[in-house]
Amino acid sequence: MAVETEMNSKHAFSELRLSPDIVRMLSAEAREHPRWADVQNRAGLLALARGELEGALDRFEAALAINPRYAWAGINRALTLAVSGRGAEAADALDGSAEPGRGVRTYTTAVLALFAGDAAAGEAALDDLPPDLATRPDVRRLLAALIRLRAPSEADALWQRTRHHFASLPAEWSAPWTGKRLSTPTFMPGLHQLYLEGSSLEGRLSRWEAAESMASLARLHWADEAIYLNQRGFLATLAGREDKARKLHAEAARIAPDEPRAHIALAYLWSAEGDLEQAYRSLVNALARAPRYADLLYQMGLLHLARGSAKEALASFRGALEINPDYTMARLQEAEALFGQQRWNEARASYENVLASGLESWEIRLHYALTLVRLGDLDAAAEAGEEARRLAPREPRVLYHLGRIYRLRGDQEQAWTAWTTFLELDGGSERRTEVERALSNEPEDPS
Amino acid sequence: MAFEDFRLNAQVRAALVRQGIDLGRVEHGVTNSVIYIKGSLRSHVTQESSDLSQAKLDEVDRAAKIERILRSIPGVRDVIFQLDRVVKLGWRWKPR
């Protein structure tokens, strides 16, 4: 006999504890990215949270149309079909779904049995879980709900023994049943994605208590310990508590060493701290697990430069550019590295690539001009130098080099003008003597 | 200066994350202690207005705030923005 569920009741929605502004943000995101499978999957969860079962199915199916192997969308669809009373279709959907994570399909089989009122089948399914998963709090909660179908007092006793896992949450958020009915959102493992996003958004709004609660709820919907710790580390970073963030991510990395997220977070945290050795170790670990992450290669390039390893730095920046040829910041670093290594032809091409992207500063223009000087193209160098002066008309370095470029080109008047302004603005650099000596041999101001 | 660039780039990233900026839409980098920001400063937190003019005005406010934050990081020599929808003219941020 199927059990009575509360998925489409107002109570179930309020249990999800999503604040109205978070719901608005997630809805807007779904409208903005109709072709992103994860966003559509989350939109399905949101529809589910609103009790819109047909709408939820539409979104899960949209996610699967974008990515037919998107396992969580398949699991979510199966459970939504079950809640809709379409048990046979739900079973088929589960059969056709990929495995999103160890044990999820087995857990979902038990949930479908629960919704169908078949305690024995559900308990048998949970028996198949590996021991480390069988002790998860959300699995224990599901087991309590299944046992309650046949032996309420036994279930109550089990729930009392399990309750401490949920001590930080109000009872109505964590109990497997509310009153006489099952609260079905409780048994949707895929909801962790909605809760994690909600936690991040709450954190960005500095609503720390709500953010932490959302992270806890994610933990109770199949987010594993490492995901939970990483989420809390992210919240600590948002709050400016870097020490705490490092500890949480380090623990996450210890528990799930193959997952890249903790290593990536640690790489940036140690970099911001200025700890080269720890940052290097974390970057190596992160890149071993996420080798196509161009931003990490950029940060590694900066680290190599900080260590004085120009060759390795250039290799890192070029690695980032291989992944993303339009990565302007990496292109700029490539140009600067080539400039430093006096590889003028290559530097010229890199600077021109940067400038074509629209990014410019007086330093970029000046270094480009100096590169052109080395290549003997003085007209282009003067033009680039003038561009640098346009951006920083009172920058002594620009005026000094512009004067030199004009002098090399034989344009004494323009050199005299640039250097005279240089002398007015220079605060006493070593170039001053050189300019004064040169000017003493120059013609007087023609004006 | 190379050490500063290494450190500053991670601090810039942290600052952008704290402000809820979508890192998928913006590039950031540091060269010779100059911060470069390129792309669009869209927020994860604030809902993007369907009115483009309003969206640009929102980004003007965001850019001004982020510029203040980035310039306050010790060791920063300058901050250069090349944003798709807003531009700084003189001392003022304006929609493009």
Contacts of A272 (CB under 8 A, 6+ apart): A242, B7, B10, B11, B13, B14
Answer with the residue of higher pLDDT: A82 or A282.
Answer: A282
A interface residues, B as partner, C-beta within 8 Å? 24-25, 28, 32, 200-201, 204-205, 237-238, 240, 268-269, 271-274, 276, 279, 298-299, 302-303, 305-306, 308, 327-330, 332-333, 336, 357-361, 363
State how far the Cα of A379 lies from the Cα of A406, in Å rounded to an integer.
9
Chain B contact set for A200 (CB, 8 A) = 44
Q: What ranges do the domains of chain B cover?
A: 2-95
Confirm if A94 and A109 have CB atoms less than 8 A apart.
yes
For chains A and B, count residue pairs whose Cβ atoms are closer than 8 Å.
97
Q: Which of A226, A232, A190, A262 has the alpha carbon at shortest distance from A46? A: A190
Cβ distance B47 to A28 less than 8 Å, yes or no, reads: yes
Residue A15, pLDDT score = 53
SS3 B75: coil
Mutate which: A23, A280, A312, A361, vs B, most B CBs within 10 A: A361
State how far the Cα of A443 lies from the Cα of A292, in Å rounded to an integer.
59
Residue B54, pLDDT score = 81
Cβ distance B14 to A237 less than 8 Å, yes or no, reads: yes
ipTM exceeding 0.90, yes/no: yes
Q: Which CATH class is domain A229-291?
A: mainly alpha
Chain A contact set for B14 (CB, 8 A) = 237, 268, 272
Cβ distance A302 to B27 less than 8 Å, yes or no, reads: no
State how far the Cα of A284 lies from the Cα of A267, in Å rounded to an integer.
9
Residues A10-192: name the CATH superfamily: Tetratricopeptide repeat domain (1.25.40.10)
Cβ distance B7 to A357 less than 8 Å, yes or no, reads: no
A170, pLDDT greater than 80: no
pLDDT digits (tens, 9 = 90+) for A286-295: 999 999 999 9
Give the nearest partner residue to B6 out of A200, A271, A357, using CB atoms.
A271
State how far the Cα of A364 lies from the Cα of A405, in Å rounded to an integer.
16
* Average pLDDT of the residues in A140-147: 91
Residue A180, pLDDT score = 63
Kindly state whether B44 is in contact with chain A, defined as any CB-CB distance less than 8 angstroms: yes
Output the CATH code of domain A367-447. Answer: 1.25.40.10
Residues in chain A: 447
Residue A7, pLDDT score = 44
* Average pLDDT of the residues in B34-55: 83
> Right CATH number for B2-95 from 3.30.70, 3.10.20, 3.30.420, 3.20.20?
3.30.70
Farthest CA pair distance, chain A: 106
Kindly state whether B25 is in contact with chain A, defined as any CB-CB distance less than 8 angstroms: no
pLDDT digits (tens, 9 = 90+) for B57-72: 888 999 999 999 999 9
Query: Quick one: tokens of A52?
Result: 């819109």
- Taking CA–CA distances from A269, the nearest residue in chain B reads B10
State how far the Cα of A297 lies from the Cα of B92, in Å rounded to an integer.
35
Give the nearest partner residue to A329 out of B28, B32, B45, using CB atoms.
B28
> Right CATH number for A292-359 from 3.90.950.10, 3.90.1150.10, 1.25.40.10, 3.30.470.10?
1.25.40.10
Give the nearest partner residue to B9 out of A205, A299, A358, using CB atoms.
A299
Q: Indicate if the alpha-carbon torsion angle A193, A194, A195, A198 is positive or negative.
A: positive
pLDDT digits (tens, 9 = 90+) for A403-447: 999 999 999 999 999 999 999 998 878 888 888 888 887 554 544
Q: What ranges do the domains of chain A cover?
A: 10-192, 229-291, 292-359, 367-447
pLDDT tier, A8 (very low <50, low <70, confident <90, very high otherwise): very low
Cβ distance B30 to A240 less than 8 Å, yes or no, reads: no
- Taking CA–CA distances from A202, the nearest residue in chain B reads B45
pLDDT digits (tens, 9 = 90+) for A196-210: 999 999 999 899 999
